Chains A and B, each alone.
Chain A
Amino acid sequence: MLFITIFTVLQYTDLFIFKYPHFLYLIHQPRQDPPPAHPQTPELRAPLSSPANLGPAEPSALAPPVTIEAFCDQVQPQPQTPSSSSGVPKLCGYLQKQGGPLKAWKQRWFTYEEKKSQLFYYRTPQDVTPLGRVELGSATFTYPLKAENGTFHIQTPERTFILKAVSQQVMLYWLQQLQLKRWQHRVQQSAGSPGCSDSTNNNNNSNAPGENQPLPNTSDFQLTGYFKSCSSLLLQELVWLLHKALEAAQLEKRTCGEFLAAKGEQERLELLRHRERQAADLRSRLEEVKTEAEALRRSLAQRDAQLSELQENLRMMMEKNQAKQEVIVKLSDQVTACMSDPLHSLSSPSNGLDSQTFKQLQQEIENLKDDIEAYKTQNKFLNSEIYQLTKLWRKSSEQEKSLMVKCAYLEASNCQVESRYLGVLRKLQESKALEAGEREAVKKLIEDALRGELKSVAKLTPHRDHDEYGFKIIPDYEVEDMKLLAKIQALEIRSHNLLHQEAGDRPLLGRWAQYLAGRSGDDLCASPELKSLIRAGVPQEYRQQVWRWVVRARTHSIKDHHPQRYTQLCEKSRTSPHPASRQIQLDLHRTLTTNQRFSSPSSPALQQLRRILLAFSWHNPAIGYCQGLNRLAAIALLVLQSEEDAFWCLVTVVEAIMPLDYYTKNLVASQADQRVLKEFMAEKLPRLAAHFEEHSIDVSLITFNWFLVVFVESLPSNILLRLWDAFLYEGTKVIFRYALALFKYKEEDILKIHDSVEIYQYLRFFTKTVSDGRKLTSIAFNDMNPFPGRLLRNRRAVHLERLQGELRELEEQQKEFVTESAERKDKELDTMVSEDDEEL
C-alpha cells in the first residue's frame, strides 16, 4: 500500500501559520506566543487555529459518527444558518502544483472558498481570475509515502491534483485543514441548504472582516456562534420588514390619493378595475410562487434523503477506519515488541544460566555429537549390508527362477519321454510278434504305467487341478480302451503347458493392457486391431469385460426397448410353467458336470442356469429349449459371472450369431451347416476328405455337436474360451475355421488310421488332446485363409434350401406310406378274422 489516508492522528502540539510572500510556514513555537501578523499582507488571516483549540480539534476530527449526527440534529432546527465564511479565517497559501505534459512543478496561490467548498488557485495572490479550482466537496486526500517530502494528492471524481508543500509538516497542516473544511462544508450543506440562498444578502452584511475567530470545534461553541448570529439576523429582518411595511403603507397612501383625486364616477370605477386586475395578477403570481416553493420543498426532501444516505456511508467508513486504526496500533505494538524482544533473549541466557548447567549441556552436546558419529558409521555399515544382501537375494532369486525354468523343462521332457515310452508300450501291446511271456511282461508294464498315473499326476501338478473357470486343466478321458493313449495325451498337454506357460501369455497380456488402457469397458469399438487381439485370445483378466461389451453391442437394440426384459421373463417363468421346464430341469444337473462350479447339486450356479434357460424359453418361444443351450448358458455364466449378462449372452449366440432355425424343430440350419462343412473340407483338406470318403466316414456324426454347442465339452477349456472370444466377436465363421483347423492339426494322425471304427473312435475324443492352442489358432486364422463370408452364406443358403426340399419330400412319402399301410393292415385284419372264424 503506497498511500495512507490522512485520518492519522497528528501529534503536533503547536501549529502556527505565517504567511510570507512565497511560502506558507509552519513553525514550532511555544504555546504562549501570540500569532504575529504580517504587515505587508492585509488579507492575512492568521493563525488559522490557535494552539489551545487544536487539542479539542483532534477528537472532533476523529469523533464517532454518533456525535456528528447529534450535532446535525442540533443545527437543523435553526431557520437560518450562518454562512461558513462568517468569522472563520481564510485558508490560503502557496503550494507547488504539478501539471502539464512534462509534469513540472509550478508555484500557485491557493485559496479556499468556503461557500462552495472549492479551492481556487491563482498565479499570484493579486490575480482576480483563478487558473482553476478544486472541488473539495467530493474530494479525497492522500499522500504518497515514497514521493518527495510534502507531496500530497487531492482526488476529485474528475481528476487528481498533485500538490507539494514546502515541508511534510506544512503538507500535513494543509491536509488536516482541508479535511476539516470539507467536513464543515458537508455539515452545513445538510443543515442550511434551504435558507442559504435567502440569507446570502444578510450574510454578506454580517461578514466581519479581519475577525480573529477560532475555528468552531465543538458543538457548544458552534451553537453559541449560531445564536449570536441569529439574534443579529432577526434584528435585521425586523428592520427590513418594517421598511417594507412602510413602503407598502406609502404605496397605499399614494393609491388612495390617486383614487380620491380621480374625477368623476367613471374614472374611479376605471381605477378600481385597474386595481382589481392588478390584485388578480398578483394572486396568480402568488399561486405560481407557491407551486415553485412546493417543488423546491420536494427537492429539498430528496436532498435530505441523499444526505442521510451519505452520512450513513460516512459513518460506516469511519467505523471501518477506526477498526483499521486499531489493527495498525496493534500491529505497531507488536512490531515494537518484536524489536525489543531480541534484546531480551540476548540478555536472558547470560543472566539465567549458571556455569554448572551450561557445562552439563555442553557435555550433553558432546555426547550427542559422539552418538551421531556412531550412528553415522552404523548407518553406513547397514547400508552396505542392505546393498550386499539385495545383491545376494537377487542372485539367488535369479538362480531360483532359472532352476524353476530348468525344472519345468526337465519335467516337460520327462513327460515327453514318458509319453514316448507309453507309445512304445502301446505299439508292443498291439504287435503280434511277441511271445506269450513277453506279452505278459508288456501287459504288466502297462498296468504299472497306468497305476502310476494317479501318483505322477498328483506329483506333476502340485499347484492346481482346475483353471480359473473351474475346468479341469487336464481333461478326463473316459474311454476305457484308450486309457494308454489318453495318458500319453495328458503328458503331452502337460509338457506343452510347462514349456509355454511363461513364453506366450505375458506379451499378450501386455498388448491387452495397452489396448484397454484409457478405454472403458463399454466403449470398445470394432477395429482390425481388436480383431487380431481377440483372435489371439482374451486374457482371463479382461475376458469378462470384453464379452460383456460384445454382448451389449449385439443386443443393445432389444435391450434398449426392454430394459427390464430379463426380470420380467424371470417373473413370468415363476408364475407360469413353460412346457420346456421339464426338459430344462432334467438337463440342469447334467450340465458341465466336470466343472467345479456345476458339479455340486447345491451349487447356486445351477439355480442361475435354470432361471436363464426358463427366461430364454419364454423369450424365444420358437426355440423354447433345445438340449445344448444349457451348455452355452453355462459357459456364459462362468465367464460373465452375472446371471442377466449370461442370459443376454445366450440371446446373442442363439439370435444374433447363429443362423435362423439352428435350434428350432428339426434343426434344419444345423444340418445344413454340416453339409457346408463337408464342402469346405473337400476344398481345404482334400486328402483327409478323400480318406474319410474311402472309409465311408460321415464326419457330421462327430462334428454336429461341435457346431450346436460351439465346442463346449469338446475342447480343453483354455482353447474353448479362446475360440469363444473370437466366435462372439466374429460369428459362426469361427466355428468353421476351428473345425477345419482341428482336422488339419491332427491330419497326419488321422491319415494313419485305416479302420473306420478306429477313425470314429479317434475322432470322438481327439479334440480334447489338442495341446497347442496357439498352433491351432494360427491354423484356423492363417492356414484356412481365404475364408470369405459371402461364400459361407451362399453355401448355407443352397444347402438349407436343398435340405428343406428333402424334408418336404420325406413328409409326403411318410403320408403316402401311412395311407398305404393302413390299407394293407385292413386286409390283413380281414384275413386274420376269417382264419379265426374258420378255426372257431
Chain B
Amino acid sequence: MAIRELKVCLLGDTGVGKSSIVCRFVQDHFDHNISPTIGASFLTKTVPCGNELHKFLIWDTAGQERFHSLAPMYYRGSAAAVIVYDITKLDSFQTLKKWVKELKEHGPEDIVVAIAGNKNDLGDIREVPMKEAKEFAESIAAIFIETSARNAVNVEELFQKISKQIPPLENPEVDSNESFKLTRQPPPSTRRCC
C-alpha cells in the first residue's frame, strides 16, 4: 500500500479546540486543559484511504492573533488546511473568515480547506448557527463539518473528508512498497514572509 504524506495545518481563533481535535484524532484522547500551543506543534497519524495510506503530518498552530504572522511557515506547502471555530463563540467565526481570506491570498493554490465547527457538544449555548456556517463553507467550496473533540464526534470524519478531497496521484510511478514524500513545492511566490 502506498503511503502518501499529507501536510495539514490547523488554523483558527484561540481556544476553539484545534489542539483538542488533533489530540482526539491522533491519540483518541481528550484533555480539558491542554496547554495552549505556542508557535506550533507537530503530530502524525496514518489512516487508510482507498488503496492508499494517508499519513497526515499535522501542524497545529497557535491561535492568538499575534502568532498569525508565523502561520505562513505552517500552511506553506500544505495539502489541506483545517480552519476551526467554536460554535459557542461568534468571534471565532469572524476569525475564521479572516483565515479564509488569508489562505486565498497567500496559501497554496490548490489547498483543500475544511471548516470545522468545534464544541458541537455545547449546542445549547451555540452562537453560530449551523446553517450560516454551512452556507459560508459552500460559498468558498470548503468542506464543512461540526465536530466535538470532547465527545469524539466527527473528528475521524473530518480527516476522511479531507482525504477524499485530495486529488489522486497523477503519476503513480513510485514503488508501492516505499513511502514517499508529498513533494508539493510552495508556489514560486514572493508573498511569504517566512
Contacts and interface: CB of A to CB of B under 8 A. Distances in A.
A136 B115 CA distance: 127
Interface residues of A, number: 45
Contacts of B74: 701
B69 to A, nearest CB: 5
B34 A701 contact: no
A198 interface: no
Contact of A583 (B23, B31, B64): B64
A764 B73 CA distance: 16
Interface of A: 478-481, 583, 586-587, 589-593, 626-628, 630-631, 663-667, 671, 698, 700-702, 704-705, 708-709, 713, 756-757, 760-761, 764, 803, 806-807, 809-810, 813-814, 817
Question: Which residue, of B31, B36, B38, B70, has the highest number of chain A Cβ atoms within 10 A?
Answer: B38
Nearest to A708: B38
B89 to A, nearest CB: 10
Given A593-B31, A705-B38, A713-B35, A806 B105 contact: no
A481 B36 contact: no
Interface stretch (B119-127, B140-148, B186-194): B186-194
Nearest to A761: B44
B14 A583 contact: yes
A583 B14 CA distance: 8
A665 B105 contact: no
Contact of A757 (B36, B40, B55, B69): B55
A631 B35 CA distance: 10
B38 A667 contact: no
A667 B67 contact: yes
B36 A627 contact: yes
Given A666-B69, A701-B59, A587 B191 contact: no
Interface of B: 5, 14-15, 23, 26-27, 29, 31-36, 38-44, 55, 57, 59, 62-64, 66-67, 69-70, 73-74, 105, 181, 190-194
B105 A817 contact: yes
A810 B193 contact: yes
Contacts of A708: 38-39
Contacts of A702: 42
A626 B34 contact: no
A681 to B, nearest CB: 17
A705 B23 CA distance: 19
Contacts of A700: 73, 194
Contact of B62 (A627, A631, A810): A627
21 contacts: A481-B44, A583-B14, A583-B64, A589-B33, A590-B35, A591-B35, A593-B33, A593-B34, A626-B64, A627-B38, A627-B63, A666-B66, A667-B67, A671-B70, A671-B194, A701-B40, A701-B59, A701-B74, A708-B39, A713-B35, A764-B43
Given A590-B34, A810-B191, A664 B105 contact: no
Question: Which residue, of B27, B42, B63, has the highest number of chain A Cβ atoms within 10 A?
Answer: B42
A756 B105 contact: no
A363 B34 CA distance: 89
A610 to B, nearest CB: 14
A653 to B, nearest CB: 15
A480 B27 CA distance: 6
B54 to A, nearest CB: 13
A810 to B, nearest CB: 5
Nearest to B63: A627
A590 B44 contact: no
Contacts of B191: 810, 813, 817
Contacts of B27: 478, 480
Contacts of B193: 803, 806-807, 810
Contacts of A761: 42, 44
Contacts of A664: 66
B49 to A, nearest CB: 17
Nearest to A599: B33
Contacts of B194: 671, 700
A820 to B, nearest CB: 11
A760 B39 CA distance: 14
A589 B66 CA distance: 21
A627 B14 contact: yes
Nearest to B191: A813
A667 B69 contact: yes
A339 to B, nearest CB: 95
Contacts of A481: 44
Nearest to A764: B42
A206 to B, nearest CB: 127
A664 B67 CA distance: 10
Sort A-B residue pairs by CB-CB distance and give the 3 closest, nearest first. A704-B39, A705-B39, A705-B38
Contacts of B42: 701-702, 760-761, 764
Contacts of A698: 73
B79 to A, nearest CB: 14
Contact of B14 (A586, A663, A666, A671): A586
Contacts of B29: 478
A839 B74 CA distance: 44
A586 B29 CA distance: 21
A626 B65 CA distance: 9
A30 to B, nearest CB: 124
Contacts of A628: 36, 38
A701 B73 contact: yes
Given A757-B55, A757-B181, A760-B57, 9 more contacts: A479-B43, A480-B26, A589-B33, A627-B62, A630-B36, A701-B74, A704-B40, A709-B38, A813-B191
Contacts of B192: 810
Contacts of B40: 701, 704-705
A757 B38 contact: no
B35 A667 contact: no
A766 to B, nearest CB: 12
A817 B104 CA distance: 11
A587 B26 CA distance: 23
Contact of A671 (B5, B32, B35, B69): B69
A813 B191 CA distance: 7
Contacts of A709: 38
Contacts of B44: 481, 757, 761
Contacts of B41: 764
Contacts of B33: 589-590, 593
Contacts of A764: 41-43
Contacts of A479: 43
A480 B22 CA distance: 12
B15 A586 contact: yes
Contacts of B62: 627
A700 B34 CA distance: 22
A671 B43 CA distance: 23
Contacts of A587: 15, 36
Nearest to A601: B33
A628 B66 CA distance: 12
B189 to A, nearest CB: 10
B74 to A, nearest CB: 7
A225 to B, nearest CB: 120
Nearest to A624: B66
Contacts of A478: 23, 27, 29
Contacts of A704: 38-40, 70
Contacts of B23: 478
A233 B190 CA distance: 145
A593 to B, nearest CB: 5
Contacts of B35: 590-593, 713
A761 B57 CA distance: 10
Contacts of A631: 38
A701 B70 CA distance: 9
B168 to A, nearest CB: 21
A761 B42 CA distance: 7
A609 to B, nearest CB: 13
B8 to A, nearest CB: 13
A814 B105 contact: yes
B66 A667 contact: yes
